[in-house]
Amino acid sequence: MFSLKNKTAIVTGAGSGIGKAIAKLFAQQGAAVHILDFDEKGAAQTKTEIEADGGKSFTVKADVSNQQQVKTIVDSIVASAGHIDILVNNAGVAHVGNVESTSEEDFNRLFNVNVKGVYNCLQAVIPHMKQKGGSILNMASIASSVGIPDRFAYSMTKGAVVGMTLSTAKDYLNHNIRCNCISPARVHTPFVDGFINKNYPGKEKEMFEKLSKSQPIGRMGEPGEIAFLVLYLCSDEASFITGCDYPIDGGFIKLNN
């Protein structure tokens, strides 16, 4: 079950965290995984770990906010692989702040990566995917469903991701292209550790516990747990699912009251 044998997958932001876990799991399931990441060192490490397990992967330095660069990369992948079966739009950046403390520069930075980056990848991949169908998975967030303090710009971008997911799913039903998104709560990634170290020096352990317990289940998610849901939604076993946003949040949305 959940085999991706003979499938070509693109995973953006796969140099660390959730994207890395997705890329590694896809490769374990037989996919040829193309890792698109601005962080060349991180992407290379993901590729090394995939190949150590006998998987197949390729790395490309990519700025997903650059439309022409994304199109060139996707066209090159199709030229060598012949097709693209799966696209995971995982690349994203975060920001802490309300509307008053969010500068125009910060707002544009988040929009360019989290919104325009998804748009660029969709626009580049879908013309090729229309030939034989495929599956698209976009990374949203619980911030698109509930109010999170000091996440103004981030929430805006993830709401846009949900909207793009629904539109894409509707527009390409007749081309056998499925498009879904998932909404994780807090997941323990290097980004979280860096955020805590930067903003709460000397209180790292205390803040980690506090953030962990903000999920009703009492802990943060692990990248591998997110990857399993992504695998299911991108596999043929999920062929009846499109246009859905799946919370994976330790009960945050429904039980946090």
> Domains (ranges, CATH) in the chain?
8-185+223-248 (3.40.50.720), 187-220 (no CATH)
Angle at the Cα of 166 from the Cα atoms of 162 and 168, rounded to 5 degrees: 115
**Model confidence over 104-127: pLDDT tens digits?**
999 999 999 999 999 999 999 999
Q: Which of 152, 183, 156, 157 is nearest to 249 (CA)?
A: 183
Whether the per-residue pLDDT at 23 is higher than 90: the answer is yes
Nearest to 246 by CA among 143, 152, 140, 158: 140
Tens-digit pLDDT profile for residues 73-90: 999 999 999 999 999 999
Q: How far apart are CA 252 and CA 56, in angstroms?
A: 36
Could you identify the residue written with the tokens 């490490």?
45
Mean pLDDT for all residues in the chain: 97
**Residue 191: what pLDDT?**
85
Catalytic residues: 154
Q: What's the pLDDT tens digit per position in 211-255?
A: 999 899 999 999 999 999 999 999 999 999 999 999 999 999 999
Q: How far apart are CA 35 and CA 93, in angstroms?
A: 17
Q: Is 7 left (phi over 0), alpha (psi -120 to 50) or beta?
A: beta
- pLDDT of 257 over the 70 cut: no
